[in-house]
């Protein structure tokens, strides 16, 4: 493994496959406009068209994005290979470029911190006027800090709408990242509600948001798990709001059971024992009643059995589930192209 980068030629060959790797060799001279950041690399590769490539070094390994047709299907394409190989051939200059990128980030942070309130406000207004997405995000945060609950709910659910990203009725791999960034704003807005004394409202909207994402999750190519991370954060925001607002335990139990028996439970990774203090005796009794009924209707269902195990854990009837036990349950894999 290269001692400067988190990948080498073997890693590129493994990610792309032998055929794409060999084709990538022919595109080395087509790589231009390369920019090396602290953990990401962007470049343009001219093939049938000019394609934008981004490589990102993450804890679990290298990932690549390209807007060519093959890359949009979720593949580590020949253009990604060409950019990776180009970086490896320039490895000697990478530490200097990354240090420069880090220096620019620090310089920007220092400069912003030194601006007056009026200067920052003027700068923000300038960017809001020219960036529709930024304006929408800030409008949502402003609404979340205000009193218009209906507007907040509408805008949060709007952030989870996949339609603007579903060019062919399906959010492809190339568009999932952008959708994930937008959907993550829904989490920020929910937490703003909770932090501004409106946790009761946050519980209601969080449940709607989780259900909205559940309805569209199968229509998203989440190969990188970006949307799964958003779903997990939505669940965490819901639990946080529940712990503060203490909603009706029976209604909360009904919602939790329905969710845990639904299709999105793996993505959000909600565990009923986490809600033990929220549910109390009444909520746990209601959840047990609903779980018993579900298990009678589907005695071989893995979700029903797992739900009952969670309940037994919450009620103190069994020891905490071991990791090995949990791994035996057949989790739903994200859809890939």
Summarised one tens digit per residue, pLDDT across range 289-333 is 888 888 888 888 888 888 888 888 776 643 433 333 333 333 333
Predicted pLDDT of residue 331: 37
Task: Characterize 229-267 residue by residue with b for buried, 16 or more Cβ atoms within 10 angstroms of its Cβ, and e for exposed.
Answer: bbbbbbbbbbbbbbebbebebbebbbbbbebbbeebbbb
Answer yes or no: is pLDDT of 263 > 60: yes
Q: Which residues pair with 56 in a beta bridge?
A: 40, 63
Predicted pLDDT of residue 334: 37
* Burial of 227 per CB tally in 10 Å (0-12, 13-18, 19+): buried
pLDDT confidence bin for 41, thresholds 50/70/90:
very high
Q: Which residues contact 307 (CB under 8 A, 6 or more apart)?
A: 257, 260, 261, 272, 291, 294, 295
- Weakest-pLDDT range from 74-78, 93-97, 122-126, 214-218: 214-218
Predicted pLDDT of residue 324: 32
Mean pLDDT, residues 178-183 taken together: 87
């Amino acid at each position: 493994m290269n001692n400067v980068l988190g990948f080498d030629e073997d890693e590129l060959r493994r990610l792309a496959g032998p055929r794409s790797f060999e084709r990538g060799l022919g595109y080395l001279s087509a790589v231009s406009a390369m920019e090396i950041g602290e953990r990401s690399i962007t470049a343009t590769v001219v093939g049938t068209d000019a394609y934008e490539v981004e490589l990102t070094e993450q804890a679990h390994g290298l990932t690549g994005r390209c807007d060519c047709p093959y890359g949009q299907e979720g593949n580590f394409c020949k253009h990604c290979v060409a950019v990776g190989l180009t970086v490896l051939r320039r490895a000697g200059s990478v530490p200097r470029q990354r240090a420069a990128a880090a220096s620019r980030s620090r310089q920007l942070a220092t400069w912003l911190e030194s601006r007056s309130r009026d200067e920052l406000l003027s700068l923000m207004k300038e960017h809001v006027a020219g960036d529709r997405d930024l304006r929408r995000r800030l409008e949502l945060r402003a609404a979340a800090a205000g009193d218009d609950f209906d507007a907040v709910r509408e805008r949060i659910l709007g952030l989870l709408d996949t339609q603007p990203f579903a060019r062919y009725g399906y959010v492809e791999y190339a568009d999932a990242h952008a959708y994930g960034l937008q959907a993550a704003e829904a989490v920020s807005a929910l937490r703003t509600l909770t932090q501004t004394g409106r946790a009761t409202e946050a519980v209601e909207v969080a449940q709607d948001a989780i259900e909205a994402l559940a309805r569209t999750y199968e229509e998203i190519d989440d190969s990188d798990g970006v949307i799964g991370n958003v779903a997990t954060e939505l669940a965490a925001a819901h639990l946080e709001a529940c712990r503060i607002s203490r909603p009706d335990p029976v209604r909360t139990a009904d919602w939790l059971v329905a969710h845990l028996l639904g299709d999105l439970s793996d993505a959000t990774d909600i565990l009923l024992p986490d809600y033990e203090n929220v549910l109390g005796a009444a909520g746990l009794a209601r959840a047990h009643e609903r779980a018993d009924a579900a298990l009678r209707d589907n005695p071989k269902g893995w979700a029903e059995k797992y739900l009952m195990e969670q309940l037994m854990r919450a009620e103190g009837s069994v020891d905490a589930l071991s990791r090995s036990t949990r791994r035996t349950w057949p989790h739903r894999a994200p859809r890939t192209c």
